[in-house]
Structure 1
Amino acid sequence: MPATSDRFLVVLDADSTLIRNEVIELIADEAGRGAEVTAATEAAMRGEVDFATSLRSRVEALKGVPVSAFGHVLSRIEPTPGVRELTSAVHERGGRVAVVSGGFHEILDTIAPELGADIWRANRLAVVDGVLSGHVEGRIVDAEGKAEALSEWAQEIGVPLSRTIAIGDGANDLRMMAVAGLGIAFNAKPAVRERADLVVGTVDLREVIPLLP
């Protein structure tokens, strides 16, 4: 194992970063409300509306979707090109890979380990009698929650914030990108590109490998 001083942490957003999809939109498709939720998601990612308020509203549109539909949602997930190569490169260099998402554990618990993540955090959808109730359980993982997760994981692993990298695409990723030693805008909205330390425009996570410590 590398010395603690040589370790580092890479934290990725999930939707449109770790994967190509926005999971809430895929679930909304199961309720026939995909277009409505897509428009609301895009507004939230541009930073035009409060993320937590927007998420609660969008999750209400999922009410009645059976938990059994998650299998179909998972079958539609598209990993971002280069994601496995990036996570392998991080591990080869002695780093850890984390994912923090405004999306949902119900999906991330399957895809995060498959794509090489060591730790992850997301929201949980409330379920009643096998169907979604239209509510989120507990505290919502928003911009501040993402920043807190990065800081907590760095402390647990024994990594200074200067040796952390945050990668995201939406306005709710800006706080964790500001906290990290290096904030990378990946396939990002204009407001995020403007405030990031670096911008990766190509939708291929292998572009990040040369930036690793």
Structure 2
Amino acid sequence: MHHALVFSTSKHPSSASDAASWLANLADHYGFLQPVEPPHWLHRGYAAQLICDPDASFDAAGLPHNSEFQALRSHAAQLGLDVNIIPLAGRRKQMLIADMDSTIIASESLDDLATLAGLGDAVTAITQRAMAGEIDFEEALFERVAMLAGKPSSLFDQLIATATPTSGAIDLVQTMRANGAKCYLVSGGFDVITGPVAALCGFHDHHANHMHIADGKILGTVQTPVLDRNAKAGYLAHYCALHGITPSDAATIGDGANDLAMLQAAGMGVAFEGKPLLLSEVAIQLNHTDLKGLLYLQGYQDSDIVHA
């Protein structure tokens, strides 16, 4: 089966001569993938691909544990490049399900809310452990929200005003929508934030947890059942069934342990600046490329992208 070997970056754009140089430097490391075509640009200076025909024993899902590919990825990372290999069959996806915090927006919204409430350090420490998979997500969520009990709900207005989409987020959603894909924002955060973010980016719908508020105060409790990693994978299955497609037709993207199940279930599950757990388990990774990287992985060229 033919695959596309995709090199991309947002941090260190390359000239044609630079690209020729790093491709030459990396050639010894990707030869095992058996290139059959010369490289060409998807986005000049930012993304290039070459078509490969690896032998029948090649296992794309096993790349996190493939020593040859990991050596290639390590050498590319030293040049500020991501490298991923994608089957050409079914490459453009018909659905996107994206995490919000530290993926579609640049920060963790609950941490930002806690900072506004004067509780930033205590809450952030718990968030970091939860996203790394060191402590139970639901337990961590309840503990952090309880700290906010009695704080004014007007803090949400400040939070919404400062929520910043990650570079490439709007381009990603708008381009996939323009090409017929259904796009959903599914977050372990809170619906009071996902609603405005989904509207800004152009998602078809959004799902998140709900924090209880009464009389202008945060009550410190969360509606159950909690939207956790299993629920995220459940939304993937739900929307695939709704639209008559399979998970192999979908792309998912996220950064934390809470995203692992939906990343592993989708045809194109992408760890975006992922936590160590994801880097050890997820084959497709964007560590040096903004969210337009998910478009390059699908074969979109710069001329195809709907720029925000």
Q: Which structure 1 segments of 5+ residues have no match?
A: 1-5
Partner of 1:179: 265
Distance 2:262 2:242 in 1: 16
Partner of 1:202: 288
Distance 2:275 2:93 in 1: 30
Residue-by-residue CA offset, 1:159-186 (whole Å, 9 max, x unaligned): 2111011101000100111111121000
Distance 1:140 1:162 in 2: 26
Structure 1 position 138, deviation (Å): 2.2
For the residue of structure 2 that corresponds to 1:80, the secondary structure is coil
**How many corresponding residue pairs?**
208
Q: Name the TM-score, length of structure 1 as normaliser.
A: 0.94
Structure 1 position 118, deviation (Å): 0.8
Q: CA RMSD in A?
A: 1.4
Letter paired with 1:117 = F
Give yes or no for contact 2:252–2:268 (8 Å, CA) kept in 1.
yes
Distance 1:120 1:211 in 2: 24
Letter paired with 1:51 = F
Structure 1 position 7, deviation (Å): 6.7
Q: Name the TM-score, length of structure 2 as normaliser.
A: 0.65
Structure 1 position 77, deviation (Å): 0.9
Distance 2:291 2:263 in 1: 16
Selected match of 2:148 from 37, 62, 84:
62
Q: Which structure 2 segments of 5+ residues have no match?
A: 1-91, 300-308
Selected match of 2:242 from 156, 160, 174:
156
Moved runs in structure 1, 4+ residues, more than 3 A?
Answer: none
Structure number with larger C-alpha Rg: 2
Selected match of 1:131 from 213, 217, 220:
217
Distance 2:151 2:116 in 1: 7
Distance 2:93 2:286 in 1: 23
Give yes or no for contact 1:30–1:65 (8 Å, CA) kept in 2.
no
Structure 2 residue 206 is matched with structure 1 residue 120? yes
Structure 2 residue 160 is matched with structure 1 residue 74? yes
Structure 1 position 89, deviation (Å): 1.4
* Range 6-15 or range 188-197, more displaced: 6-15
Kindly, what percent of the aligned residue pairs are identical? Answer: 35
Letter paired with 2:203 = A
Give yes or no for contact 1:17–1:80 (8 Å, CA) kept in 2.
yes
For the residue of structure 1 that corresponds to 2:156, the secondary structure is helix
For the residue of structure 2 that corresponds to 1:54, the secondary structure is helix
Distance 1:211 1:116 in 2: 21
The structure showing larger relative contact order (alpha-carbon pairs under 8 Å, at least 6 residues apart) is 1
Give yes or no for contact 1:19–1:80 (8 Å, CA) kept in 2.
yes
Selected match of 1:145 from 231, 249, 253:
231
Letter paired with 1:210 = Y
For the residue of structure 1 that corresponds to 2:188, the secondary structure is strand
Structure 2 residue 200 is matched with structure 1 residue 103? no
Give yes or no for contact 2:174–2:202 (8 Å, CA) kept in 1.
yes
Letter paired with 1:173 = D
Structure 2 residue 103 is matched with structure 1 residue 17? yes
Structure 2 residue 253 is matched with structure 1 residue 192? no
Partner of 1:3: none
Structure 1 position 62, deviation (Å): 1.2
For the residue of structure 1 that corresponds to 2:100, the secondary structure is coil
Distance 1:51 1:110 in 2: 24
After superposition, where does 1:77-88 map in structure 2 within 5 Å? 77-88=163-174
Structure 1 position 203, deviation (Å): 5.0
Structure 1 position 126, deviation (Å): 0.6
Give yes or no for contact 2:103–2:166 (8 Å, CA) kept in 1.
yes
